[in-house]
Amino acid sequence: MAVTIDDIKDLHLDSSPSIAALETIEVRHSLWPTPIRIVTNHADGVDAMLETCEVVNFEFAPLLINRGKTSDDLDQSFNITLGDLGEIVPPLIKQIRASDSDEYPQVIYRQYAYDVTSMSFAKDKPIDVVKGLFIEQMSRDHQATTFDAKTPDKNTVPTGRTYSLEEYPDLKALL
């Protein structure tokens, strides 16, 4: 009996041991001719279908993706280390700095279900997609580039009404 994998929950709860999670990132900026597309655990690279039904190539590069802590708010963050030996990301960052652009590079994280026995996707489209991540901090050395990708702060705008004793004198009894 074949198990259908529709989302990340199915991958972890109902899939067979031969189903692996392929993690990918896409980093794009309006100044770059093409986005960077990296897959972490498929040494030959892979052609994969995006959620838009477009088929693109993800190249292999040593990649470590740490998802941020789980929280009750809308903020998400990833700490990503790309073992690019200073060859992939630094020249593209120089392009951004040379143009004095204030635009941050955008990161899209995708996870696919991949059947290692048949060497094919268990589901054509990604089972997990996180969009709206922006690179805010980056460090690099001769071996790797590490950056934090996170959503813009969602909970910085106050909502509701501020209660004061001048407007609501009855609140004084609660203090």
Number of residues assigned to the chain: 175
Encode 23-47: b = buried (16+ Cβ within 10 Å), e = exposed.
bbbbbebeeeeebbbbbbebeeebe
Q: Which of 54-58, 76-80, 85-89, 166-170 has the lowest mean pLDDT?
A: 85-89
The pLDDT, as a whole number, for residue 119 is 83
Q: Contact 24/38 with Cβ under 8 angstroms?
A: yes
Please give the Cα distance from 113 to 12 (Å, whole number). 10
The pLDDT, as a whole number, for residue 9 is 54
| Cα dihedral 46, 48, 54, 58 sign | negative
Residue type, 122: A
Record the pTM. Answer: 0.74
For residue 5, the tally of other CB atoms under 10 A from its CB is 21
Please give the Cα distance from 115 to 21 (Å, whole number). 9
The pLDDT, as a whole number, for residue 1 is 36
Alpha carbon distances (Å) from 29 to 36, 101, 166: 9, 10, 50
pLDDT tens for each residue of 109-159: 999 888 877 888 878 888 888 888 888 777 777 778 888 888 876 555 566
3-state secondary structure 105-166: CEEEEEEEEEECCCCEECCCCCCEEEEEEEEEEEEECCCCEEEEEECCCCCCCCCCCCCCCC
Does residue 44 surpass a pLDDT of 70?
Answer: yes
